[in-house]
Structure 1
Amino acid sequence: MQSNGVGADRLRPGGCVLLLAALPRSSRKGAMDPRTGLDAMARVPPALLLGTDGPAPEVLPLVDPVDPVAVQHRLRSAAATPGPLLVYLAGGLLLDSRRRQLHLALADTTADTVRYTALPWEWLAFELRQRRQDDTTVLCDLVADAPAWQRISGEPDLLGLGGAAELCGVVAPAVKRAQRGHTGYSGVLAGLLSTSGNRRGLAELHAMATAQAGLDPRALLLAPTRRPAVPRPVPARVPAMRSGSGDLRTAIGLALRAGRRSWARALAEDWHQRVQRTGPQSLEAVLTWEALAQVAFEEGLLQQAADNWMAAARIRLALLPAADPLLLTTVDNAHHLWGRLPAGAEAIRTGEELLRLRQAAPGSGNGRLRAVAQRLELLRATPESEPR
C-alpha cells in the first residue's frame, strides 16, 4: 500500500475523514464484505460526516491495505490534521492467541499471522492519544472471530480509546459463511446521515441505525459518549418537540421488545439529560419522563416508574387544560403504578403527590380521586401492610 504522498505539511485545515475497510483474502468467499459499508459512507458528504461547516476536509480511503505499519502512518497523518477527525473502520476483529491482544484484520491476515499482518487495536488508541474527544470520532462496523468475541464479551472496555475519541458503532460475533454478513449498520447509518443532514445528533442516529439494521441479537452496541454541551437559556415560551423524538421513542420501544433493557435505559437517560439542559418544562421533556417510566416498569422498578409518570404528569398539568386526555392518561398511568406499590413511606409520599394531581385533574366523576384518598388513608393507618 502506498501512502499517496499525504503528509502533515499538506493537510487541509477542514479536518479529515479516514475510511478503512479490510477483507482478508482468506475470507473472500465469506459473507462479510466491509467494502459495502465503506462505499455507503463514502457517498455521505465528508463535511456531514464531520459535522462541520468549515473548509473541505481531507478524505483518505483505505481499501484492503496489507501493511499494518503503513496503516499506522496513515492514522498518524490523519490524527495530525487540524480540525475534526472521523476514522471509519469496517472489517474483522481478531485476537492474537499469544499475547491476547485485539487486532484489526488486514488483507493478508490469517488466523496464524495476526501478530504480523493485522493492525493492533492499541495502535489506534496510541495514534489518537493527543486528540480531543470533542472533535474525534471512531466509527466501527466490525465482526469479531470466536476468540476475539469471547474476550470482548467479558471485557468490553478493551475497545476503549483512553478518552481520546468518541467511540461509536457495533461489534458482532462472526457468522457462518453460509449466512449473510454484518454490513447493514453502515448502510443504514449512512442513509440516516444523508437524509437528516445533521451529524450533531449522532447518538440518536446510532440508536435508529442499530434498531433498523437487523443486527445479531448478541451484537455489542457502542453508543457515542456524552460530549460537554454549552448550556442554552430556556426560551420564555414552551419549546416544541424536536423532529427526532418519535424516532427515539421507536428505538427505545424496539430495544425493550428485544429484551435490551440496559440499552433502552441508556437511550432514554441520554435523551432525558439533553432535554433537561434545553427545555425541562417542554412537551419533549414529558416524553423523556414517560420513556424512563416505561424502562423502569420493564425492569421491575415500580417505585421509579411511578415517580417518572408523576414527573411527566406535573409538566403536562402546567402545559395543558385539566381535562386534556393526554394529561388524564398520564395521571392514570401514575395511579396504576402507585396502586402496585407496597405499603411504606415511599408509597405514602407518592400517594400524597398523586392526590394533589388528582385534585387538579380528577377525570370524569370523582371515583379516581376518592380511590386515591381512600388508599392513602389506609396506607397512613397501616404503613407496614401491602394492599394491592
Structure 2
Amino acid sequence: MPGTVLLLAASPAGKGCLVDAASVLPVLAAVPPAVLSGTETANVVELADPLEPQAVLTRLRAAAAAPGPLTVFVTGQLQLDRRQRLPHLALARTTPATVRYTALPWHWIREELRLRAAGTTSLVLDLHADPETWEWLRAHPLDPGPGHAVYGRIAPPPGRRAVAVPAYMKAVATILRSGHRPRLADLHQQAVARLGSDGYGDLLLAPASAPAPTPAPASVSASAAVVSGAGGPAFVPRPSEHPEHPEPSAPPEPSAPPEPSEPSRSSELSGPPELSAASDELAHLPGRSGAQAPEESGAATAEAGEDPHAVISDAVRSGRHADADALAARHEQAALRAHGPGSEEALHWAEVRADLAMFAGDPVRSCRTWLAVAAARLSAGQAPDAPAVEAAVDRAHHQWGLIGDPAGARELGSLLADLRSQVPGRREGALEHVRRQLGQLQTQG
C-alpha cells in the first residue's frame, strides 16, 4: 500500500520570522518519495510558506484520510494566540496580534489525525518557539494525540534580530538523501548527533516506546516523551496549576472561523517533589548577581490574581528585559524565603531567569544561572542523571557555546567541565567537547 507524505514549512514574513523554514524544502524534495515514506511508493504533498490556515487544513485533512502510512514533516515556529494562549504554527501572514486568525492551531493537527489507526502516523518536527511559547512549554506538552509517533526538536528563540536555520530537519533530509531510510528512532538519534553542541538547549521529542541507545526518556503522555538529551524536561509546571485533561473539539469546517479549544495538559510533566534539604549553591558560583529585593526593583508588578508569567512574557515581547528579570527576581526571592534555596519553587524562578537572560541575548548570565541551578539540584540530593539536572547542564552548555568573550568563556567553561564530569548527559562526547573548547580558549587572549 502506498504511503503519504506531507511536507509543511512555514514561517512569518518580515521581522517576526524566527526560522528560515522554507530553506529545508529543497533538501527534503530531493529525497525519493519512497524513502521519505518508508514504503515502496508514496504520494508527496508540499506546502511552502502557506498563507491561509484553512488551506493547510484542507491538505492535512486529505492526507489524513489517505490509506496507508502517513508521515508529516513540519518545520516552522510556534506562537500563542492572545485570547486562549494555545499553540499555533505561524504562517506567512502571522503577526503576534493575528495568531488566532492567520496561524494553524496545533490542535487542528491533533484532531485531523485523531481517527487514524494507531501506529500508522509519524510526525517529524523542527520547531522554534518565541519567548512566550517557550515559557508555555514549561507546563504543557505538545501533544500529537494518542497512537502517533513524534520525533524532532523544539528550539528556543534565536538571538535578537537573528533568523535560525532548521538544522535538525536539514540533518534528517541529508541522511535520507543517501537513499536509505533507517527506523525513525535511529534517524532521530543520527540527526540529533549532527546538531552537536548547538542542540544542547533544545527540547527533544520522541515516542515513549521508541528504543534508543540512551537511557529511557521520561514519559510526557501516552504517545510522546521529552528526551532530556538536549535539555528536555527541565520544564516544571507553575506551582498553582492543577493539570486537567479536557478533550479538544474538532476543527471547524473550512467555512467556519478558527475557534481553538482548551489545551490538553499532562500531570506527568511535573518536576521532582519538594525537597526537604535546602541548598545555598545558587549563591556560590562566582560572579552571580543576587536577585533584587522587591523594594529595589523598578519592574512592573503583577496585579493580585494576575499570572506573573504572563506579565513577564509581555515584558519580553516588548523588549523590557530588565523589567522581566526584576519581576522574576522578586518571585525568586519570595520563594527562597518561603521554601528555601533547594525548593522547586525557588529553582523554578531561577530557571525562568536563566531563560530571560537567554532572551535578552546575555549568554554569560544565562550560562551562569543554569550552572547554579544544576549545582543546587545536585546539592539538594538529586541524581546526576535526573532529567532536571541533565537539562540544566545541557542548557548551560548551549549558552556557554554562545559566549564571545574568551575570558568569560574560560571561567564558566572550567565550571561547566566540573559539572560535566558529574553530569555527562545523554549525548556522547559532551565532556570531551567542553575540554576541547577550553583547550582552544587557552590560546586566545
Superposition TM-score tier, normalisation by shorter sequence: 0.5 to 0.7
The equivalent of 2:200 in structure 1 is 217
- 2:187 is matched by which residue type in structure 1? L
Counterpart Cα distance in 2 of 1:49 and 1:206 = 14
Tell me what 2:78 maps to: 93
Contact 1:22 1:65 in 2 (8 A): yes
**Residue deviations 1:31-79 (CA, integer Å, cap 9, x gap):** 62111222222222121121112xx311110011111111111110000
Contact 2:32–2:179 (Cα < 8 Å) also in 1 = no
Which residue number in structure 2 is paired with residue 312 of structure 1?
Answer: none
**26 and 178 in structure 1: CA distance in 2 versus 1, 3 angstrom threshold:** closer
Deviation of the 1:227 alpha carbon: 6.3
Which residue number in structure 2 is paired with residue 51 of structure 1? 38
| Cα distance in 2 between the residues matched to 1:198 and 1:168 | 15
Q: Does 1:40 align with 2:11?
A: no
Supply the distance in 1 between the matched residues of 2:96 and 2:191 (Cα, whole angstroms). Answer: 31
Counterpart of 1:26? 14
SS of residue in 2 equivalent to 1:97? coil
Give the distance between the partners of 1:147 and 1:178, measured in 2 at CA. 17
Please tell me the residue identity of whatever aligns with 2:68. Answer: G
Name the CA distance, whole Å, in 2 between partners of 1:43 and 1:106. 23
Q: Does 1:203 align with 2:185?
A: yes
Hey, what does 2:154 align to over in structure 1? 171
| Partner SS state of residue 130, structure 1 | coil
Secondary structure, aligned partner of 1:16:
strand
Structure 2: unaligned runs, 5 residues or longer: 216-225, 233-382, 387-445
Instruction: Please tell me the residue identity of whatever aligns with 2:172.
Output: L
Indicate the residue corresponding to 1:142 in structure 2. Answer: 127
Alpha-carbon distance between aligned partners in 1 of 2:163 and 2:60, rounded to the nearest angstrom: 30
Shift of 1:107: 0.6
Q: TM-score scaled to structure 1, two decimals?
A: 0.53
Q: Which amino acid aligns with 1:209?
A: A
Offset, 1:122: 0.2
- Partner AA of 1:18 in structure 2: L
RMSD after superposition = 3.0
8 Å CA contact retained: 2:52, 2:91: yes
The TM-score normalised by the length of structure 2 is 0.47
Superposed displacement of residue 223, structure 1:
1.5
Q: Contact 2:113–2:145 (CA<8 Å) still a contact in 1?
A: no
Output the CA distance in 2 between the equivalents of 1:117 and 1:126: 19
Q: Matched residues in 2 for 1:133 and 1:194: separation?
A: 28
Secondary structure of the residue aligned to 1:83 is coil
Secondary structure of the 1:213 match is: helix
State the partner residue of 2:323: none
CA contact (8 A) 1:26 1:110 kept: no
Cα deviation for residue 88 of structure 1 reads 1.0
Say if 2:35 and 2:179, in contact at 8 Å, map to a contact too: no
Q: Does 1:117 align with 2:102?
A: yes
- Per the TM alignment, residue 207 of structure 1 is displaced from its structure 2 partner at its CA by 1.3
The residue that corresponds to 2:229 in the other structure is: 263
1:191 and 2:174 correspond: yes
Paired position in structure 2 for 1:71: 56
Kindly state the Cα deviation for residue 154 of structure 1 after the two structures are TM-superposed.
2.7
Which SS does the other structure have where 2:79 is aligned?
A: strand
1:153 counterpart SS class: coil
Between the two structures, name the one with larger relative contact order (CA 8 Å, sep ≥ 6): 2
Q: Counterpart of 1:299 in structure 2: which amino acid?
A: D
SS in 1 for 2:124: strand
Distance 1:263 1:112, change over 3 A: same
Q: How far apart, in 2, do the equivalents of 1:135 and 1:23 lie?
A: 28
More helix by share: 1
- The answer to whether the Cα contact below 8 Å between 2:185 and 2:210 also exists between their aligned partners in 1 is no
Q: 1:261 to 1:139 in 2, by over 3 A?
A: closer
Q: Secondary structure at the match of 2:137?
A: helix
Q: Which amino acid letter does the alignment assign opposite residue 385 of structure 2?
A: E
Structure 1 residue 133: deviation in Å?
3.3
In structure 2, the CA distance between the partners of 1:224 and 1:263, relative to structure 1 (3 Å rule), is same
Q: Which runs of 5+ in 1 are unaligned?
A: 1-12, 229-247, 253-259, 267-296, 301-388
Q: Are 2:73 and 2:124, in contact at CA under 8 Å, matched by a contact in 1? A: yes
Query: Measured at CA, do residues 196 and 205 of structure 1 come closer, stay the same or move farther in structure 2, by a change above 3 Å?
Result: farther
Deviations 1:277-326 (A, max 9, x none): xxxxxxxxxxxxxxxxxxxx9539xxxxxxxxxxxxxxxxxxxxxxxxxx
Structure 1 residues 267-278: aligned runs within 5 Å: none
